[in-house]
Structure 1
């Protein structure tokens, strides 16, 4: 039973990734910049429209879905390195004793 659930999750994940790939390549948006959760929300909203549409109209609704997915790209966020320190956890990293922005500067200069 657990194996079936894992297979269903993998199937859903691959469906979303294939939608993102199709939307990205169709509308020249990098597929890795598209939001997985945004794609999931858009697909859930479009499922009733896809089911209610006739076969000739379904392709138009699908293309609209791809367009909506492609135009919701996640912005590029450069410089996302985080210092490896612990705040109040028992990990093998030193305690965070300085503000995060100072530690980022220290990492970038090192």
Structure 2
């Protein structure tokens, strides 16, 4: 939220759910932080109704080769995994809830750890233009890692991570879970 000035209302209109002149302008802010230093590496600001992934895509240009990008389910999309790997970077994202997979499919590389093939979507997703969509490869291989959150007195929760860090010898299952846990 920001001060209710005419300039701010013009640039960052308040949500449509608020009655006119009964709220504050709200900006959506996307930031890339360094896990090593804790500093902000890049920042972008847009209007409230901008989806997080659109902000993130504007920040990809600040990634350097060998960076590992951590993110939640909103970022775990086919096009983004491809884009990040083309930059020479890797990603660890929580698997989006609409993507269903089982341990029966894919190449099992360890307990709760497998390599799976993702196929290009049949239609162009929102946020991509036709040229960007057409440039995507027909498939990519990603690694899916499962782990469980056990809290006494609560239902055990399974968490699925998707990563482009495919080499189990270089990045163990436990290391990937640990890196994501730092997020």
- Flag the structure with more relative contact order, 1 or 2, with Cα contacts below 8 A and sequence separation at least 6: 1
TM-score, length-scaled by structure 2: 0.19
TM-score, length-scaled by structure 1: 0.27
Computing the radius of gyration over CA atoms, which structure comes out larger, 1 or 2?
Answer: 1
